[in-house]
């Protein structure tokens, strides 16, 4: 896949840490839905906004790729942190509420890492 050749070492380190965490989160949510603990229909494809961002990243290179990648990751993780914070405080499903609270530290860590892209060589390393 062409996108695997994109990104600098810092972006690749960020992705190596983020992908397994997101895969676990997706699996957790799928299990909630499959078990009937959460009533939802899982999407089968990206919505047009996210597909457009992905297409833009696929076409970008160099500094344009890095700038777009960082911007997209910071924005997406800010939205995720906000959503999970709100649900952890006021959600109506106790199991999902607890899960959101347990997942929040990882999302906050991803946001910090995304904000450091392009400026800190220590992304992906423990502090």
- Write out pLDDT tens, residues 77-111: 999 999 999 999 999 999 999 999 999 999 999 99
Give the whole-angstrom CA distance, residue 45 versus residue 35: 22
Domain boundaries defined on the chain = 9-22+48-121
Give the whole-angstrom CA distance, residue 14 versus residue 24: 16
Q: What is the pLDDT of residues 18-74, one digit of tens each?
A: 999 999 999 999 999 999 999 999 899 999 999 999 999 999 998 999 999 999 999
Give the whole-angstrom CA distance, residue 57 versus residue 53: 6
The reported pTM is 0.83
């Amino acid at each position: 896949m062409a996108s695997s050749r994109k990104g600098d070492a810092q972006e690749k380190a960020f992705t190596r840490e983020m992908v397994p965490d997101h895969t676990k989160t997706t699996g957790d949510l799928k299990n909630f839905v499959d078990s009937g603990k959460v009533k939802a229909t899982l999407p089968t494809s990206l919505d047009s906004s996210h597909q457009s961002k992905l297409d833009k990243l696929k076409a970008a290179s160099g500094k344009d790729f890095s700038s777009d990648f960082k911007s997209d990751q910071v924005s997406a993780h800010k939205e995720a942190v906000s959503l999970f914070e709100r649900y952890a405080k006021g959600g109506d499903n106790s199991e999902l509420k607890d899960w959101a609270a347990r997942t929040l530290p990882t999302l906050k860590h991803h946001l910090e890492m995304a904000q450091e892209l392009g400026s800190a060589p220590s992304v992906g390393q423990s502090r």
